[in-house]
Chain A
Amino acid sequence: MRFRACCWLLGMSVSTTTLAATPVFEIDIRDHLFEPAELVIPADTKVKLLVHNLDATPEEFESYELNREKVIMGGTTATIYIGPLPPGVYPYFGEFNPKTAQGIIRVQQGER
């Protein structure tokens, strides 16, 4: 009984949406710029972000507001899960090229 209770508690904390269909959104890095510079995603939904680094050089996707940080080697694609998030504007930047590589993720109600 105690073992079953522990399993239930553990299950509560582990992702409940991984197995469900997670919307996928994509961002490209080209010439040290993010494309699109503004991405709109749905509110209160966990989202899978694919960031394609089309440059030959590495970049680091970083956002204080999204609480995310990930190095993306040149010519590779990174997977980053974000959300569920409340509506709002969440800036992010490329830490290796912070002057040019900047973008925002706009979280809106009803966007699917």
Chain B
Amino acid sequence: MLDAVLLVLREVLEAALFVAILLALGRKLGMRGAWVWPALLIGLTGSWLLSAQAAAIADAFDGSGAEVLNALLFALAIGCFIIINWLLSDELWDPQQPHSTASQPPRPILDSLFGVIVAASMAREGSEVWIYFSAFGGQPDALLGSLMGGLIGTGLGVSIGVLVYYLFDFQPRRWFLPIYMGLATLVAGGLSMQLARQLMQMGWLDSGRPIWDSGWIVDERGWMGQFLNAAFGYDANPDATQLTCYVVVVLLVLAGIPLRRWRQRVQMEALG
């Protein structure tokens, strides 16, 4: 049962954290959070479909179908985080001043981007949970124990998500936006390292020697390591390819800030 608690907690934590920070962001922007329930429903359905088709998916692309799919889902989430940060860059420079409706990030687009991030995360991580439970099909007692463990793991993951949500919700708007953008940058960077790992696992990229090993500071097996892995894709021994992906994505996420600032200045100068 303890195995089930840990496995499900690990899989649930990423989506719970994504929901928490995106819901908190939406509230600061005056959004109602209408995206949450459809995203959870699509994510749950998607995870079940992926688990039901797991064997066929794994067989595709010469045995690398699962990695291709995971890489696409990682890329989708990274793209959404980049677009959200770019859209928020104007707000960052002047968070106190309410912008005209025309200059505010378009809410339906933000709703969709939030929803895609959460649904992609749930589909990717949740499919493993369904597959795990399917292993206990012929053993009712073991299935019951693992389901109980799964419920506890889900409860723990959701509780951590709720805690993180209120932690952010209490922040004043002028502090929250820079904090969110910093976190989103780290999250997108972490997702890019996981994307690189998929490409290395399927042999499209070569692995290299680890640049460092921070396992003696934060062990990936420990609670802190698991939490940092779920939230920021923490990897104790990344190689050069992963770090290159990380730097490129971080630069892409941050590029919106100076570009939007520059555009604002040009517009101000044009107005005289």
Chain A complexes with chain B: yes
Interface 1/0s, chain A 6-23, versus B by CB < 8 A? 000000011111100010
B200 touching A81, Cβ below 8 Å? yes
B203 CB to closest chain A CB (Å) equals 4
A109 CB to closest chain B CB (Å) equals 14
A108 at the interface (CB under 8 A from B): no
List residues of chain B with CB within 8 A of the CB of A71: 54, 58, 66, 128, 131
A16 touching B58, Cβ below 8 Å? no
Within 8 A of B (CB), among A60-79: 60, 64-65, 67-74, 76-79
Given known contacts A15-B206, A18-B203, A46-B206, A79 and B134 CB-to-CB distance under 8 angstroms: no
Q: A17-B206, A99-B3 are in contact. List 8 more A-B contacts (CB 8 A).
A: A46-B203, A48-B203, A58-B132, A64-B215, A71-B66, A79-B63, A86-B209, A98-B3
A85 to B206: give the CA distance in the assembly, Å. 11
Chain B interfacial residues counted at CB < 8 A: 36
A13 touching B7, Cβ below 8 Å? no
Classify the interface of chain A: helix, strand, loop or mixed: loop
- Can you list 19 contacts pairing A with B, beta carbon distance less than 8 Å? A13-B241, A58-B131, A58-B132, A64-B215, A64-B220, A64-B236, A67-B200, A67-B235, A68-B201, A69-B201, A71-B128, A76-B58, A76-B59, A78-B58, A79-B63, A81-B200, A81-B203, A84-B209, A85-B209
Given known contacts A57-B135, A64-B221, A73-B55, A14 and B207 CB-to-CB distance under 8 angstroms: no
**Contacts from B to A (Cβ < 8 Å):** 3, 7, 54-55, 58-59, 62-64, 66-67, 128, 131-132, 134-135, 197, 200-209, 215, 220-221, 235-237, 239, 241, 244
A65 to B197: give the CA distance in the assembly, Å. 13
A22 touching B58, Cβ below 8 Å? no
Range, interface on chain A: 35 or more
A73 to B205: give the CA distance in the assembly, Å. 25
A28 at the interface (CB under 8 A from B): no
A38 at the interface (CB under 8 A from B): no
